Structure 1
Amino acid sequence: MLRRIAAPDLASLPSALSNADGTVTKDERERAMSQQHPYVGMWVTSDGHIRQELRSNGRYDEARGSRHSAYQGRYEIKGNHIEYWDDTGFTADGTFVSRDELHHGGMIFKRQE
């Protein structure tokens, strides 16, 4: 399964994250990405009904109302554009209009701190 999100420059990671042979483990890479990628995290509609978590591993989990994990799948970010591939087969997209606002599916999501 191909998962791509804008990744940090791994050469810039602290040497403490590197193994003795200079490689970086998957967990270390994901931790670095979650700290550096500006769009990873929780995004919520103003009424709180839809909550979408963009995970550092290129997966998302969307809750709707009391229905947890209503939709799950993978995502890919290029610039300020996001593409979604749901595990059930449908696709969607969205646009980050700022670091704290996502337009997706006719809705506006705000970053939840």
Structure 2
Amino acid sequence: MTQEDYDEVSKRALQLFDYGQRVAADHGLILVDTKYEFGKGHDGSILLIDEVHTPDSSRYWIGQSYEECFQNGLEPENVDKEFLRLWFKSHCNPYKDEVLPEAPKDLVCELAWRYASMVCLT
């Protein structure tokens, strides 16, 4: 990546993040962090090439309860899949184990509920 490409990608990523934070705030959420994937077209143009601001690629905290959680030293309420990642991390090494344990049904249901609640917020 050239410096010019880096500067362009950085500018676009920050613009996308700013937009995502504003949309999230309009729906009572805090967009904490996310990932963007960029590539290059055949003509050399910079392209955004993957999902944007989904619960799979982003962490969202619930704005209404954030301050109280923060003041009490608690993990912020969220509507993303971080809890499921943490469960796998504590039960296996997802980067080395060839076979991962099956997630408990209640965690899978919780993930489905969180994702469905995101749709209801938009």
Question: Normalized against structure 1, the TM-score is what?
Answer: 0.27
Larger radius of gyration: 2
Higher helix share: 2
Q: Which has the higher contact order (CA 8 A, sep 6+)?
A: 1
Higher strand share: 1
Question: Normalized against structure 2, the TM-score is what?
Answer: 0.25
